Amino acid sequence: MYIEFVGGDTTEYTVQKLAELAGISTRTLRYYDEFGILKPARINSSGYRIYGRAEVDLLQQILFYRELGLSLERIKAIMTEPSFDGAKALREHHDKLLEKRHQLDLLIANVEQTLAHQEGRMTMSDAEKFEGFKQKLVDDNEKKYGQEIREKYGDSTVDQSNKKLKGMTEEQYAAIQKLEEEMFETLVQAMEQGDPASVLAQKSADLHRQWLSFYWDSYSKEAHAGVAQMYVDDERFTKYYDKRSPGLAAFLRDAVHVYTGTK
């Protein structure tokens, strides 16, 4: 059962009606209430949760954030901030959705070109076959780490790195993946020895330098040490390395500090 109340310029919804409007389950709305991210405007005399326009707008924001892959914990933290600006958030949603559309457009164009190539209607270089995938990789990296990296190293450095990645041939991209895997294998073996100054640990640090050099225009010991420190300071990078072996990010940092002589 649901009731919709309309009076003047206000509209109110019960759980069932709002769930139907938003295309989600009533269970989801009840969970959002229990989680504290979307409370009803009031409870009526019959015990129904009643939602108004403000709650409808909040639900829209929540669903936008969910579509962008954010956890409920992160969404709650964002939306309960005193400085939260709904209009600004909508503009950010719009920008991110345009980015996603750009990614999809590239992949669709790539598929269409590949079909035309296979059917003999056009020729396609090896680099073109992977253009959409490399662009998606760049866009994904920007989404995950872009803000932190740009703040630390500047827009010019990051843009140049992205340009190098997008310009890689299939062979170069395969080579960098192979190098990264060799670096990880060597690093895990070195960590088992427990000495960041060991021959194996220093080989790992050098392999890491080679891997970074695929993306960087120029190398510096200070920047290398800074990146290694960031792997420890930023939990997302730490998780990426430590999934191979707990403590791997910190061990790499220590090995790079020895390698660069910065500590």
The predicted pLDDT at position 15 comes to 93
pLDDT value of residue 2: 39
Q: Which two tokens stand for residue 170?
A: 């299939």
d(CA 144, CA 237): 10
Dist. CA 79–CA 66, nearest whole Å: 13
User: CA dist 31 to 24, 25, 67, Å?
Assistant: 12, 10, 18
DSSP secondary structure of 68-129: TT--HHHHHHHHTSTT--HHHHHHHHHHHHHHHHHHHHHHHHHHHHHHHHHTTSS---HHHH
Nearest to 143 by CA among 96, 98, 85, 108: 96
Q: Residue 171: its pLDDT value, please?
A: 74
Q: What is the pLDDT of residue 185?
A: 94
Q: Which mean pLDDT values do the consecutive 10-residue runs of the chain (263 residues) have?
A: 44 91 91 93 92 91 83 86 80 77 65 58 51 56 58 62 63 82 94 94 95 81 89 85 92 96 81
User: Which of 21, 99, 100 is CA-nearest to residue 63?
Assistant: 21
Residue 210, both tokens: 């080679």
